[in-house]
Structure formats: C-alpha cells, structure tokens
Amino acid sequence: MKTILAISAAALLSAAAAHAQKINAAGATFPAPIYQKWFGEYHGANPGVEINYQAVGSGAGIKQLTDGTVDFGASDMPMTAEQIKAMKVPPLHFPTVMGAVVLTYNVAGITQELKFSPDVIADIYLAKITKWSDPRLAKDNPGVKFPKDDIIVVRRTDGSGTTFVFTDYLSKVSPEWKMKVGANTSVSWPGQTLGGAQNPGVAGLIKQTPGSIGYVELIYAVQNKMPYAQVKNSSGNFVKASLESVTEAAAGAAKNMPADFRVSITDAPGKNAYPISTFTWLLIPSSIPDAGKAKAVKGFLQWMLTAGQKDCSGLTYAPLPSEIVAKEEKQIAQVK
C-alpha cells in the first residue's frame, strides 16, 4: 500500500510539473542570488508555478520586457518616463530588497580595510587619481603602505543597474562627474578601464588583476571573499556596507516613498547610512492577458513580500521596511 501511495504521489507531482504555469523573467544580476533562491523555494511550495529567471543585466531586462519576450523584468534602476512610455502596457515597480554597491580592490601588500572619501572615488573614476601611492589615498588611510602601482579601474561592459547606482552616487557627490559623465546604466568612462560582464565578471576580473578596483553588489564580494571599502557618507563618517547601514540609508525613503516606488537612496542622510545603497525592483506589467499567469505572478509577489523577506539577511540583502511592504501589498491589486 505504501508503495502504491508513493507512486501515486509521484505521479501527481509529475502531472503538476507538466502542467506548471511557466513564467519567464530577466534582468538585474544585483539581486540574482536571492531571486534564484526565491523562485526555487516558491516552486517547491507551489509546484504549479515555475519562474525562469535569466540574470542578463538591468538594461537587457528592460529591453526584453519592452519587446514582450518576458513576462516581467527586473532592474536596479527605476525605469525612466521615456522607457515607460515606450511600453504597450505600463509596468508597476515593486521593490524587492535593498542592497549595496561596494568598492572592492586587489592591491599588493594591503591587508587592511581601505577607506575612500567621495571625492577620491570620483577622481579615481575620472582618471585624475592614477596611482595607489596618491597622497589623497594616504590621507584617508593613515598607516597603510600603498605601493606605487598604477590603479586599474574595472567597470561593467553591459547595460547595468549596478552601474546606474554607482554613477548615480558619483553624480550626487561630484559636480564634475555629473557634468562630464552622468548617471546611467551605460556611460562613457574616462581614461583607460577594464570591462567585465555583469557582477560575476567584474568580481572575477578584480580578483585576477593586481592593482585593480571596481564596483560590485555586496553579495559578490562576500561570496568571493574579497575585501571591500568603507565609504565616507554625507554625515562625514566612514561606513561599511551592512544590513544595518543599508537599512538606515532607506529610512527616509520608507517614510516618504512616492506612489510609483521610483526612488534613489544613494548618498542618503544618516549618521551610519551606507552611501551607495539602493532598492532593486521587479517590473510587472499592469495588465497580464493570461489569467493563469496573472494569478501566479500576484501569488508570488504576495509571498515575496512576506515569507520571502526572511531569506534576505542570509544573502546580505536588507529586507524591506514594513511601511513599504504594506504599500506594495495594496499595489498587487493593480495587476489585472
């Protein structure tokens, strides 16, 4: 009898998988580790729903959503008014988690945790500071013996929400950066740089290139056991990225979140706020013609805002503030 029951249960699971509502999504690599965990967990609890996520970068995710080749997208940059206007069906922005973009480095002989002021970061990426022995780096890091090596700047090659967050930050702290380069998912980088594809590519390139510095989402530095710097915030304090410092950066936004959830929290106020923090968003069409898919997507969003948030800290993302969760739960009803 037990054998018959086991076979029957397996047959039911197989049938459910065969008839699973398959949903395709694509976009940001920044939150990919937690998205892959979420989609796997949700499918385990709901075998009738299968979400396939391709971590191709925010720019590519927005393009695929606009072209209608995926059911929803993901981005670390809110869509612009022009991008939204180009879509047949206006998307709704759903913040999912909060994270940090960190500066990681590979400098010979340096074991200490480095510190960077905003103007120093900007001038490194403006190609105005080109040597690790520059006195401005020494000023931020007393006691550290820097080599005379060239600084090798590493950046993303793909259209990237991580790049947007980093350049959005630089645009706030450096008038010269804002005027000459600006904030976008892809920019024209000053000077000579090395390019890596997506967060894993940048992390890998820094790890194998002595003298390099680059920006990645926090989880990629942690997973690769790479050092990452403290950054001086708007209160004048050097702060390291952590769940607490990212949460503090979002405190103001939580109280004054715009109705469409499109907001920037880089260079946020707060004594212990990490200055290169961000929300990341799922981009959900406000109208999904397939009723089965609409139901499945809405079910996942509700789960993500409740049970899913418990997975955040284990992967170094900060969970959403309760005020934002409450507003997003109301927005789910707008998906038709």
Report strand pairing: 91-106 vs 72-75.
unpaired
Identify the pLDDT of residue 7: 52
Of 252, 255, 283, 256, the C-alpha closest to 265 is 252
- DSSP letters along 59-86, please? HHHHHHHHHTSSSEEEESSPPPHHHHHT
Mean pLDDT, residues 143-168: 94
Reply yes or no on whether the pLDDT at 12 is more than 80.
Answer: no
Residue 234, C-beta contacts closer than 8 angstroms, at least 6 positions apart: 267, 268, 269, 270, 273, 275
Identify the pLDDT of residue 253: 87
Q: State the number of CA atoms in the 13 A half-sphere of 190 facing the CB.
A: 17
- Percent of the chain surpassing pLDDT 90: 90
Reply yes or no on whether the pLDDT at 5 is more than 60.
Answer: no
Angle at 280 between CA 68 and CA 43, to 5 degrees: 65
Q: How far apart are the first and last CA of the chain?
A: 45
Domain ranges of the chain: 21-98+279-334, 100-255
Residue 203, C-beta contacts closer than 8 angstroms, at least 6 positions apart: 104, 196, 214, 216, 220, 221, 224, 226
Reply yes or no on whether the pLDDT at 235 is more than 80.
Answer: yes
Mean pLDDT, residues 141-157: 96
Q: pLDDT by residue (tens digit) across 253-271?
A: 888 899 999 999 999 999 9
- DSSP letters along 276-288, please? SEEEEEEEEES--
Identify the pLDDT of residue 15: 46
Identify the pLDDT of residue 186: 93
Most confident of 27-31, 198-202, 300-304: 300-304
Q: pLDDT by residue (tens digit) across 13-37?
A: 444 445 679 999 999 999 999 999 9
Residue 11, C-beta contacts closer than 8 angstroms, at least 6 positions apart: none
Is 21-98+279-334's fold the same as 100-255's?
A: yes
Across the chain, mean pLDDT equals 93
Mean pLDDT, residues 54-65: 94
CATH number for the domain formed by residue range(s) 21-98+279-334: 3.40.190.10
What's the pLDDT band for 45 if we cut at 50, 70, 90?
A: very high
Identify the pLDDT of residue 139: 97
Reply yes or no on whether the pLDDT at 11 is more than 80.
Answer: no
Angle at 12 between CA 6 and CA 13, to 5 degrees: 90
Query: Which H or E run contains 100?
Result: strand 91-106
What's the pLDDT band for 1 if we cut at 50, 70, 90?
A: low
Domain 100-255 CATH (choose: 3.40.190.10, 3.40.50.300, 3.30.365.10, 3.90.550.10) = 3.40.190.10
Q: pLDDT by residue (tens digit) across 278-297?
A: 999 999 999 999 999 999 99
Side by side, which strands form the sheet with 238-239? Answer: 115-116, 230-232, 238-239
Q: Sign of torsion, CA 112 117 120 124?
A: positive
Q: pLDDT by residue (tens digit) across 69-101?
A: 999 999 999 999 999 999 999 999 999 999 999
Identify the pLDDT of residue 334: 96
- DSSP letters along 151-212, please? PEEEEESS--HHHHHHHHHHHHH-HHHHHHT--SSS---SS-EEEESHHHHHHHHHHHSTTE
Query: Which H or E run contains 324?
Result: helix 322-331
Identify the pLDDT of residue 193: 94
Residue 215, C-beta contacts closer than 8 angstroms, at least 6 positions apart: 101, 102, 103, 104, 155, 162, 163, 166, 202, 276
- Percent of the chain surpassing pLDDT 70: 94
Whole-angstrom distance, CA of residue 300 vs CA of residue 38 = 9
